[in-house]
Chain A
Amino acid sequence: GENVEQHPSTLSVQEGDSAVIKCTYSDSASNYFPWYKQELGKGPQLIIDIRSNVGEKKDQRIAVTLNKTAKHFSLHITETQPEDSAVYFCAASGSGTSYGKLTFGQGTILTVHP
């Protein structure tokens, strides 16, 4: 089955700095890669996603890049703010019998210091 590795496990930055979280996946059939933000006591919130036919996607301060050949994808947050502090999860899923089956990375605890 799919295996997703996520690094780093913790990330501490100063307000205004950029933050980068990286993930690698094992199954070349995976074609959908979402990123979730989870605040304490809440469910995961989708913040951005990318499909395998696209190399990069941006939404305001958040961007995701995908390298299918190397099987890795990254989340980039620019101009970080204290409210960006949360746990971030990357995930991967495929089609067919793997449809809807998200395999998550272990998560990154992001702390943005004012």
Chain B
Amino acid sequence: DTEVTQTPKHLVMGMTNKKSLKCEQHMGHRAMYWYKQKAKKPPELMFVYSYEKLSINESVPSRFSPECPNSSLLNLHLHALQPEDSALYLCASSLSPREGGNTIYFGEGSWLTVV
């Protein structure tokens, strides 16, 4: 079983809503990630946090706003989304480069539907 926990598992939101996806890991990892996965496609990287600082933003639209409050938590704030943003949002974590590991573990994901 994955040790990366994501909530909620399912979320339906309107295009004018503001909602957040939450992720928690207790493996002591200092790198955390958000990936997006559309149906029948591979995951695509959105953001990377290393030691609670944003290190990679893959040109994600500003309607997605990540936040890393501490080393165990990662949030993705959602605002003014479009129907095409409907997807499975995956959180993941790994050791940091400084710690010498890059094995990435995924959570079960949050299914987002924008109506």
| Cβ-neighbour of B106 out of A36, A93, A101 (below 8 A) | A36
Knowing A105-B42, A107-B42 are in contact, say whether A42-B103 is a contact too (CB < 8 A).
Answer: no
Q: How many pairs of residues, A versus B, come closer than 8 Å at their CB atoms?
A: 62
Q: In the complex, how many residues of chain A place their beta carbon closer than 8 angstroms to a beta carbon of chain B? A: 22
User: Is B33 touching A44 in the complex (CB atoms < 8 A)?
Assistant: no
Give the nearest-CB partner of B109 in chain A: A43
Q: In the complex, how many residues of chain B place their beta carbon closer than 8 angstroms to a beta carbon of chain A? A: 28
Knowing A89-B42, A95-B97, A100-B94 are in contact, say whether A49-B103 is a contact too (CB < 8 A).
Answer: yes
User: Is A100 touching B102 in the complex (CB atoms < 8 A)?
Assistant: yes
Apart from A43-B109, A44-B106, 17 more pairs, CB < 8 Å:
A42-B109, A43-B2, A43-B6, A43-B88, A43-B106, A44-B90, A46-B104, A89-B42, A95-B97, A100-B31, A100-B48, A100-B97, A101-B56, A102-B104, A105-B42, A106-B42, A107-B40
